[in-house]
Structure 1
Amino acid sequence: MGRTPPSAQDLRNRQRISTWLFAICFMLVGMIALGGYTRLTGSGLSIMDWRPLTGMIPPLSHAEWERQFELYKTIPQYKILHDGFGLAGFQQIFWAEWTHRFWGRLMGFVLLVPLVWFSITGALSRGLALRLVLFFVLGGLQGAIGWFMVASGFNPDSTAVAPVRLVLHLCCAFALYIAILWTALSVRTPRPVFIPAIPEARRIHALVWAICILVGITVIAGGFTAGTHAGFAYNTFPLMDGHLIPQGYAKLHPFWLNWFQNVPAIQFDHRLLATTTAVLIGVTIVLGLRTPQLGKDVHAALTMLGWLVLLQYALGVTTLLLVVPVWAGTVHQTCAAIVLTAAIITLHRLRGVGRP
């Protein structure tokens, strides 16, 4: 027996719920962009306390601004990088970090309020409601991880946050984004959970899975590139100081430490992963467009993925050659989320291709 077709009310609920979740995804991409901007401007350490609720209210008096500024003067970042800049300069970096944190709190409200409403009205199934509650909890945990990251920059011998904590914060943001995006896609267009039936489609399915994994690893490598300021070295392309593989790539022991602490190795690995990802996407597009059974939706998703990875690669090279200006670094980080979005959409469209 076939499935009972969804009612008109069910279809309306799917559309409303998925639109809401897509809006949250859009806000998450904005959050990733704001995070990149605060990192590149050195704004992340400007707020010295973590108040999950009352922190939504910025300083409202000159005395409060002075108090916040005096707190900031106690950490090494001020003494080494910003010594002598006045209250106006502090306010500029403060507003960047405050906006980043406020945006995160706003996303919590945008998730929680409709979640309660849809649950009361019966628009959500029990399983989907529980999943969304989990997303809300994970979003709150992401805020705590953000503070865990920021606190590492208050150490006496540091002017920035610890790279490992920065990457942890970035990875959790991307993981939450992927989970909400996949849920939104599945609510809007339910597809079979099994892999494609056509052998050629199964091959493309496996390649797109590999692309998603490679994009994720490249994002992690980019996080270490940002956290160690590796982008400010070797600002030539394609060679690094005249070498394809930079000198000193393996100077740390044990060898695996080079991937996380050695600037030449970190930047080279990010370049290599980005190039490998771009090549794999190119191969997948060629094979996919030669497989008409995939359908127009999959072909369109693959084509969009190809254009986006070209844009992202060009942005990466531009950011490097210009020695990481704030605008380029912010756009590059944001575009990484958009490339991952295209890969996830392609993977979702491939589900069940060739089956009834």
Structure 2
Amino acid sequence: MTSTDAAATGHPKPPAALETELRHRAQVRGWLYVMLAVLIALVIVGGATRLTDSGLSITEWKPIHGVIPPIGEEQWQEEFAKYRQIPEYELVNKGMSLAEFKAIFWWEWAHRLLARGVGLVFALPLAFFWATGRLDPRLKLPLTGILALGGLQGFIGWWMVSSGLTERVDVSHYRLAVHLMMASFIFAACMWVARGIAPHGADLKPTARSDRVAGLLVLLVFVQIYLGALVAGLDAGLVFNEWPTMDNGFFPASQWDAALGWRNVLDTPAVVQFVHRTFAYVVWLAALAHAVAAWRWAPGSTHARRAVLLLVLVTMQAVLGIVTLLTYVPMGWALLHQAMALVVLGFAVAHWRGLKGPLPLSDGTPHRLEMVGVRD
């Protein structure tokens, strides 16, 4: 009898086979949750690399032997000599000592090393689960795709760094945004797969459109993260450190460059900050409307509680953004704000996946919470 036949005739797997499948799902899910934590750590280190202006300290892309840092005075001097050839040294850090160079070098090296580690933490368990038959065949293509995106992310990272090695004194804020967006997409994809193989409650979604609204919220969070990356790339958080006004009003009109036209929203720091902080209101209002609707139509349900929690997380992120701005972007607050962005994204994706329902078991039966305690 096929899995489809079993589901159609109401004959699910025997308890022993069901328990094995549930155990394998729990193992894969646990691995993906570890991946989420490691990805947050990688983004935090990447943010610190940006805040300390360390991203251009390593001027070559060495995917394999770049794991080994300079050893001995001679190798350090060679590495420092390469850095002294780029515009950032000549125009910003001229006269920097070797000790000062080492301080920025270690941030970039740690970021690259952690990125390589993330690849191994993903690839090796994936190979193990695949080879031992623990991986649901329906997950093989999505997980292979995520692995491929991780490899592409390494290339995007170098593409970003290379933009600051010849004519600029920093990396392109557009390329920085692409780099962060790819990291965010990989993070969201891991969460989607993990929540898809998690047991779900039997609660119905509050309205027929709740899942589409939750998907829209995920899209809005992605847009806000992109805008935040532009702010970081332009150091736009260091202009008009006031709230709720800026430039003595609502909009920084004095900073508008008529020659740039609409490109001000992408290239003028004050305007980019305005767009980022204004779009935060849009995200918050959307989360509020979703929470109110969910609680109105399904009060006390799992989905309604999660909608409210999502609103709380969005509110916390907004407060962190305001604090970071008013305190002139200290590293601690800035990194917390960046990490919280991933937390909001991850929860939004998990909430959306919950409204879509779990991936059925191999025999077609729903994966419900009451199955957690199944035994022989």
* TM-score of the two chains, using structure 2 as the length reference: 0.87
* Higher mean C-alpha displacement, 333-342 vs 119-128: 119-128
Number of aligned residue pairs: 348
Which of these residues, 292, 315, 326, is aligned with residue 310 of structure 1? 315
Partner residue of 2:4? none
State yes or no: 1:47 paired with 2:39: no
Deviation at 1:256, TM superposition (A): 2.9
- Do 1:44 and 1:97's aligned partners in 2 also have CA atoms closer than 8 Å? yes
Which of these residues, 12, 19, 41, is aligned with residue 4 of structure 1? 12
Give the distance between the partners of 2:45 and 2:327, measured in 1 at CA: 20
Q: 3-state SS of the aligned residue for 1:345?
A: helix
Partner residue of 1:325? 330
Partner residue of 1:77? 88
Deviation at 1:190, TM superposition (A): 6.8
Change in CA separation of 1:136 and 1:242 when aligned onto 2, cut-off 3 Å: same
- Do 1:166 and 1:227's aligned partners in 2 also have CA atoms closer than 8 Å? yes
Deviation at 1:289, TM superposition (A): 2.2
State yes or no: 1:167 paired with 2:173: no
State yes or no: 1:231 paired with 2:241: no
Give the distance between the partners of 2:35 and 2:157, measured in 1 at CA: 19
State yes or no: 1:299 paired with 2:310: no
Q: 3-state SS of the aligned residue for 1:290?
A: helix
* Structure 1 outlier segments of 4+, above 6 Å: none
Change in CA separation of 1:197 and 1:327 when aligned onto 2, cut-off 3 Å: closer
Partner residue of 1:138? 149
Give the distance between the partners of 2:11 and 2:345, measured in 1 at CA: 33
Change in CA separation of 1:352 and 1:49 when aligned onto 2, cut-off 3 Å: closer
Partner residue of 1:274? 280
Give the distance between the partners of 1:68 and 1:299, measured in 2 at CA: 55
Partner residue of 1:177? 187
Give the distance between the partners of 1:243 and 1:130, measured in 2 at CA: 51
Which of these residues, 45, 48, 68, is aligned with residue 37 of structure 1? 48
Partner residue of 2:160? 149
5 Å matches for 1:199-238?
A: 200-238=206-244
Change in CA separation of 1:282 and 1:293 when aligned onto 2, cut-off 3 Å: closer
State yes or no: 1:334 paired with 2:339: yes
Computing the radius of gyration from Cα coordinates, the structure with the larger value is 2
Residue type of the partner of 1:59?
P
Deviation at 1:328, TM superposition (A): 1.6
Which of these residues, 114, 121, 132, is aligned with residue 125 of structure 2? 114
Give the distance between the partners of 1:4 and 1:263, measured in 2 at CA: 59
Two-structure CA RMSD over aligned residues (Å)? 2.2
* TM-score of the two chains, using structure 1 as the length reference: 0.91
Change in CA separation of 1:129 and 1:33 when aligned onto 2, cut-off 3 Å: same
5 Å matches for 1:284-295?
A: 284-292=290-298, 295=301
List per-residue Cα deviations over 1:125-166 (Å, max 9, x = no partner).
33322322222121011011000000101123x211001111
Give the distance between the partners of 2:74 and 2:258, measured in 1 at CA: 49
- Do 1:248 and 1:264's aligned partners in 2 also have CA atoms closer than 8 Å? no
Residue type of the partner of 2:185?
A
Give the distance between the partners of 1:294 and 1:341, measured in 2 at CA: 22
Residue type of the partner of 2:347?
A
Deviation at 1:294, TM superposition (A): 7.1
* Higher mean C-alpha displacement, 136-145 vs 2-11: 2-11
Structure 1: which 5+ residue stretches go unaligned? none
Deviation at 1:342, TM superposition (A): 1.4
Give the distance between the partners of 1:252 and 1:204, measured in 2 at CA: 42
Deviation at 1:186, TM superposition (A): 0.9
- Do 1:201 and 1:294's aligned partners in 2 also have CA atoms closer than 8 Å? no
